[in-house]
């Protein structure tokens, strides 16, 4: 909890909700006749609406990207170290938009929302949503906000996939795309981890085929397992070693099945807090969106052709110890962009933190990120 709001914070912010009644035909088939999107904005939109930055979130992220909701908040938004006055994405120059993805559980329409057609909670009936669907709904939001063209669309991990899809789907609606710690598609191993997470959730007796809310319960065990597993893949072996090593929870070995090592205690705690604040059906949907993302698929697996429509200038960033989305995966994107003669800047950052590095204030990462954002700022009127 901040004693006082730091000077370089966007300060106290309020989420906003927009109701959209333009029907959205989802890639999976169904039509959402209406939906809400929760979003936050920081900074001021300039006169010609040319300074807007869209931040796309990853699996468990949301629209609360920076600042505090109240003085009682223990933590600011999830990318607060990047966004604020004088920060990497400088809100003195930019108008920054964060939006909770459709299918989410933090305010946008999703499995925990009321289905207007039945008057009941969607639960497992909420349809499969894809990265494409998110981009479509974000484009509607941009229209509503009067933003014809983003100065940049920015995302890490699953957020990077959305940024990439924006550049493919709407070449003239963004001038820059920043794709951080991402990949052109999941590997079999990535899908396998997602499948274990989904199986854990779906086999929890409290899951009730997704209708757990109607049963006044939550699939805490399954979602907790999914989160524990996720945590392992977000961190590098090295980072985990430095943070926890083989430190014992108590000083002596107990030879039993209670918590023995610090890492066990950490994982149990992390999963325990997560399951109370995140919806299991949303978790399932997000992992499916990850699995399905594969822009090259419709081009006979030719990523070069898939990225051909892109007009935006590109910054691609990867991290050396990220084994979930390794630098090689980012380099596939870079190589396909280069093969198309696109303007692309690539930085592989030395970092110990694994996939989570994209959320960390790593000096060289932020220096490169900042320099790129300053270049964008120099292109737009104040």
Q: Which residues are catalytic?
A: 157, 322, 355
Q: Which of 175, 208, 288, 366 binds a copy of itself (CB under 8 A)?
A: 288
Give which of 319, 323, 322 is closest to 364, Cα–Cα. Answer: 319
3-class SS shares of the chain: helix, strand, coil, % to 5: 40, 15, 45
Give which of 176, 165, 115, 156 is closest to 138, Cα–Cα. Answer: 165
215 makes contact with a copy of itself (CB under 8 A): no
Nearer to a copy of itself among residue 84 and residue 222 (C-beta): 222
CA 113 to CA 104: how far, in whole Å? 9
Give which of 235, 206, 175 is closest to 377, Cα–Cα. Answer: 175
What is the nearest approach in angstroms of a copy of itself to the Cβ of residue 59?
16
268 makes contact with a copy of itself (CB under 8 A): yes
Contacting range for a copy of itself; rule: CB under 8 A; set: 142-150, 186-194, 331-339, 358-366 = 186-194
Q: Which of 82, 186, 280, 317 binds a copy of itself (CB under 8 A)?
A: 186
Token representation of residue 107: 């305010």
251 makes contact with a copy of itself (CB under 8 A): no
Q: Which of 1, 31, 188, 382 binds a copy of itself (CB under 8 A)?
A: 188
Q: Which of 323, 339, 340, 377 binds a copy of itself (CB under 8 A)?
A: 323
Q: Which of 117, 143, 172, 237 binds a copy of itself (CB under 8 A)?
A: 237
Per-residue x/- track, 132-161, a copy of itself (CB under 8 A): ------------------------------
Give which of 60, 82, 101 is closest to 178, Cα–Cα. Answer: 82
128 makes contact with a copy of itself (CB under 8 A): yes
257 makes contact with a copy of itself (CB under 8 A): yes
Report whether 177 contacts 170 (CB < 8 A).
no
* Touching a copy of itself, residues 25-54 (CB under 8 A): 27-29
382 makes contact with a copy of itself (CB under 8 A): no
DSSP codes joined into one string, 83-132: EETTSSEETTT-EEEEEPPTT-SSSSSSTTSB-TTTSSB-GGGSPP--HH
What is the nearest approach in angstroms of a copy of itself to the Cβ of residue 358?
19
DSSP codes joined into one string, 238-250: HHHHHHHTT-BSS
Nearer to a copy of itself among residue 46 and residue 335 (C-beta): 335
117 makes contact with a copy of itself (CB under 8 A): no
Report the 10 Å Cβ neighbour count for 35. Answer: 21
Q: Encode burial over 246-263: b for 16+ CB neighbours within 10 A, e otherwise.
A: eeeeeeeeeeeeebbeeb
205 makes contact with a copy of itself (CB under 8 A): yes
Q: Which of 225, 303, 336, 344 binds a copy of itself (CB under 8 A)?
A: 225
Nearer to a copy of itself among residue 51 and residue 132 (C-beta): 132
DSSP E strand boundaries for the chain: 16-20, 24-25, 31-32, 35-42, 52-56, 83-84, 89-90, 95-99, 152-156, 176-180, 313-319, 344-349
Report whether 62 contacts 104 (CB < 8 A).
yes
CA 144 to CA 320: how far, in whole Å? 39
What is the nearest approach in angstroms of a copy of itself to the Cβ of residue 124?
9
**Residue that the structure tokens 């939006």 belong to:** 99
Contacting range for a copy of itself; rule: CB under 8 A; set: 1-9, 80-88, 110-118, 264-272 = 264-272
Q: Which residues of this chain interact with a copy of itself, rule CB under 8 A?
A: 27-29, 127-128, 185-189, 191-193, 195-196, 198-200, 202-203, 205, 221, 224-225, 228-229, 231-232, 235, 237, 240-241, 243-246, 253, 255-257, 260-261, 263-264, 267-268, 284, 288, 291-292, 294, 323
């Amino acid at each position: 909890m901040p004693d006082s709001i730091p000077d370089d914070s966007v300060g106290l912010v309020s989420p906003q909700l927009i109701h959209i009644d333009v029907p959205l035909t989802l890639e999976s088939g169904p039509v959402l006749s209406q939906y809400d999107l929760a979003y936050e904005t920081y900074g001021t939109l300039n006169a010609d609406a040319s300074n807007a930055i869209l931040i796309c979130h990853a699996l468990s992220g949301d629209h609360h990207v920076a600042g505090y909701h109240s003085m009682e908040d223990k933590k600011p938004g999830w990318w607060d170290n990047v966004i604020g006055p004088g920060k990497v994405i400088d809100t003195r120059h930019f108008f920054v938009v964060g939006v909770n993805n459709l299918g989410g559980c933090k305010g946008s329409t999703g499995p925990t929302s009321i289905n207007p057609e039945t008057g009941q909670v969607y639960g497992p009936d909420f349809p499969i949503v894809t990265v494409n669907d998110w981009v479509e709904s974000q484009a509607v939001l941009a229209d509503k906000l009067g933003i014809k063209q983003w100065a940049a669309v920015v995302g890490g991990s699953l957020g990077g996939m959305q940024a990439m899809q924006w550049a493919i789907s709407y070449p003239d609606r963004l001038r820059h795309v920043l794709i951080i710690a991402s990949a052109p598609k999941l590997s079999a191993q990535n899908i396998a981890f997602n499948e274990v997470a989904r199986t854990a959730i779906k086999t929890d007796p409290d899951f009730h085929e997704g209708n757990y809310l109607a049963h006044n319960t939550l699939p805490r065990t399954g979602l907790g397992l999914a989160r524990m597993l996720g945590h392992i893949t977000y961190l590098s072996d090295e980072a985990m070693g430095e943070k926890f090593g083989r430190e014992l929870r108590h000083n002596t070995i107990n030879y039993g099945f209670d918590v023995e090592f610090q890492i066990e205690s950490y994982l149990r705690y992390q999963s325990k807090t997560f399951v109370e604040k995140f919806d299991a059906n949303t978790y399932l949907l997000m992992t499916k969106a990850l699995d399905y993302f594969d822009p090259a698929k419709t081009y006979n697996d030719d990523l070069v052709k898939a990225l051909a429509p892109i007009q935006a200038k590109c910054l691609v960033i990867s991290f050396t110890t990220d084994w979930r989305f390794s630098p090689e995966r980012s380099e596939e994107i870079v190589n396909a962009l280069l093969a198309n003669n696109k303007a692309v800047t690539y930085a592989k950052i030395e970092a110990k933190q694994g996939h989570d590095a994209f959320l960390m204030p790593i000096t060289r990462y932020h220096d490169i990120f900042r320099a790129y954002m300053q270049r964008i700022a120099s292109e737009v009127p104040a």
